[in-house]
Amino acid sequence: MATIVSAPDLTLTHPVTSIDLPSGGRLDAAAVLSLRGPVAKAVADGPVLVLLDVSGVDGVSPSGIAGLLDLLRVVRSRGGDLRIFGASTAVQHAFTALGLDAVARVYGGHDEARGLLASRAS
C-alpha cells in the first residue's frame, strides 16, 4: 500500500495550478484519469501547489477516492501539495466517512485553500 507523505510547508515561491472537475460529475476512476495528465504536467518542474475544485461533484466512488489519494501521493512526493476545495456534500461526506480528514482536508473555497499557503509562509 502506498504511503501518503504529510503536507509540506510551502512558500509563496511555489507555483500554483488550479484544476476544476466538471460540474455535475462524479469523482470516479474516469474523472481521476482525466486529472493525471494535468497533475503530472504541473509537478514536472518541481514542487507545486495544485488546487482541485470539486464543487461540481455530486457523487463519489471508491475508485475515485483511491485515485485522488494516489494523485495526492504523487504531488507530495515531489515536494508539493494537492488541496481540494469546493462545496461538495458528496466529497465532504466521503472524506468524513473514510477518516481522510487526517490525510487531507476539503477547503471551503479557492481563497481558503490558497490562503493556508500564505499563512504558512509568514
Task: Report yes or no on whether pTM surpasses 0.85.
Answer: no
How far apart are the C-alpha atoms of 77 and 54, rounded to whole Å?
Answer: 22
**Residue at 3 is within a domain:** no
How far apart are the C-alpha atoms of 24 and 26, rounded to whole Å?
Answer: 7
Q: What is the pLDDT of residue 61?
A: 96
**Residue at 63 is within a domain:** yes
Could you read off the pLDDT of 25-50 as tens digits, one per residue? 899 999 999 999 999 998 998 888 89
How far apart are the C-alpha atoms of 14 and 86, rounded to whole Å?
Answer: 22
**Residue at 56 is within a domain:** yes
Q: List phi, psi (to 5°) of 51.
A: -105, 120
Domain of residue 50 covers 16-121
Question: What is the mean predicted confidence (pLDDT) over 106-122?
Answer: 70
**Residue at 5 is within a domain:** no
Class of residue 101 by CB neighbours under 10 A (exposed 0-12, middle 13-18, buried 19+): exposed
For the chain, what is the domain count? 1
**Residue at 6 is within a domain:** no
Q: What is the pLDDT of residue 18?
A: 79
DSSP assignment of 51-82 equals EEE-TTEEEE-HHHHHHHHHHHHHHHHTT-EE
Could you read off the pLDDT of 3-23 as tens digits, one per residue? 444 444 444 456 777 776 665
Q: What is the pLDDT of residue 63?
A: 97
**Residue at 97 is within a domain:** yes
How far apart are the C-alpha atoms of 17 and 108, rounded to whole Å?
Answer: 17
Could you read off the pLDDT of 44-71 as tens digits, one per residue? 988 888 999 999 999 999 999 999 999 9
**Residue at 112 is within a domain:** yes
Task: Please report, for the domain that includes residue 49, its CATH number.
Answer: 3.30.750.24
What's the mean per-residue pLDDT of the chain?
A: 82
For residues 38 and 19, the answer to whether their CB atoms sit within 8 Å is: yes
For residues 23 and 29, the answer to whether their CB atoms sit within 8 Å is: no
% of the chain surpassing 70 pLDDT: 79
**Residue at 69 is within a domain:** yes
